[in-house]
Amino acid sequence: MFILKQQISVIIKHQEKIASPEIIQSRYEDLGYICSHSVATSIYLACHLQKPILIEGPPGVGKTELAKVTATYLNAPLIRMQCYEGLDESKALYEWKYGKQLLYTQVLKEQLGDVLRGARGLDESIARLHDFGDIFYSQEFLEPRPLLQALQSEDGAVLLIDEIDKADQEFEAFLLELLSDYQVSIPEIGTVKAVSTPIVMLTSNNTRELGDALKRRCLHLYIPFPDAALENRILATQVEGLDSQLREQIVALIGKLRDMPLKKSPAVSETIDWARALLLLNVEELDSHWVKETLNLLLKFQDDIELVEPEIKALLKGLR
């Protein structure tokens, strides 16, 4: 087994920061990430139990941002691996530095005469070759990719495995050893354990069902669209200078849009973009004109726009 150093968790350095869910929720808010108490509790448990956390929910509710703010909060590097169909070990774990290995082979060839000089017979030659140090497959020629980088990080890291549902099931199975034991097996070297246990976050948009084995190894957190009160606070934090009445109108209209049978409901990130656009356009209150003019900031499918446009007046009723 190849062990870099004794395993020490990064959270040991940050015990005061993760002393309670309330502290996490409050400090995240200071960093501009407004979250529910259940989200803060999940982060608290993931840190203390040293278990990966699987974050599911619709796109645009802040799953990736949660990993970013956690890295910022803990002063740890964020190592991000974007998943996609066809992702394999060479892109996720490591590659060999083939160019340097070829150069090493040339050097070895030049020294071969000195190593075998004076050897008597085949057996002695082979014995001398075995005694000759071989580093062809060693750390010196290893190019670490995100998973290995996270395990090798001496100061700990936040490892974000983003959109795991886009990866193949084979890759999902490959992750199991890392998720359960914070180690990986490299055939030519052996087992590589984490220097400092990383905080691992996996996100999923539920485009496919994840395996039971992966779910068993993770804490589960589902982040839904925020309720009106929470989204109001998010807008107040993210869009400086937005009038409170306009902010409430925006949140109320977004809530109504999410109740409609759209191909894609407006995400929190799109709510923020829309609010910033209305502020830029000096809009003081929502009306049919401005909603129609800026609807493309909220809805990303023409079918959705055509479905909503005839309903704008009805949607605006009761918002003033």
Q: From CA 68, how far away is CA 160, in angstroms rounded?
A: 8
Which stretch of DSSP H or E encloses residue 128?
A: helix 121-131
User: Each residue of 12-60: pLDDT tens digit?
Assistant: 677 889 999 999 999 999 999 999 999 999 999 999 999 999 999 999 8
Query: What's the whole-model pTM score?
Result: 0.83
Whether residue 98 contacts residue 105, with contact meaning beta carbons closer than 8 Å, is answered with: no
Domain at 15-84+155-222, CATH homologous superfamily: P-loop containing nucleotide triphosphate hydrolases (3.40.50.300)
Q: From CA 172, how far away is CA 2, in angstroms rounded?
A: 24
Per-residue pLDDT at 123 exceeds 50 = yes
Which stretch of DSSP H or E encloses residue 52?
A: none
Per-residue pLDDT at 11 exceeds 70 = no
pLDDT of residue 29: 94
Mean pLDDT to the nearest integer, 293-301: 95
DSSP 8-state assignment for residue 2: B
Mean pLDDT to the nearest integer, 298-310: 95
Contacts of 98 (CB under 8 A, 6+ apart): none
Structure tokens that stand for 194 in this block: 């984490």
Residue 188: pLDDT band with limits 50, 70, 90: confident
What is the pairing mode between strands 219-222 and 53-56?
A: parallel
Is 95 strand, coil or helix?
strand
Domain regions of the chain by residue span: 15-84+155-222, 93-141, 228-316
**Side-chain half-sphere of 123: how many Cα atoms within 13 Å?**
0
Per-residue pLDDT at 314 exceeds 90 = yes
Mean pLDDT to the nearest integer, 219-244: 94
Q: How far is CA 228 from the centre of its chain?
A: 26
> Average pLDDT over the chain, rounded to whole?
89
pLDDT of residue 10: 60
Q: How far is CA 300 from the centre of its chain?
A: 24
Structure tokens that stand for 224 in this block: 């839904």
Report which of 143, 130, 134 is spatially closest to residue 186, judged by C-alpha positions. Answer: 143
Q: From CA 199, how far away is CA 46, in angstroms rounded?
A: 8
Per-residue pLDDT at 137 exceeds 80 = no
Residue 132: pLDDT band with limits 50, 70, 90: low
What is the pairing mode between strands 183-186 and 190-193?
A: antiparallel
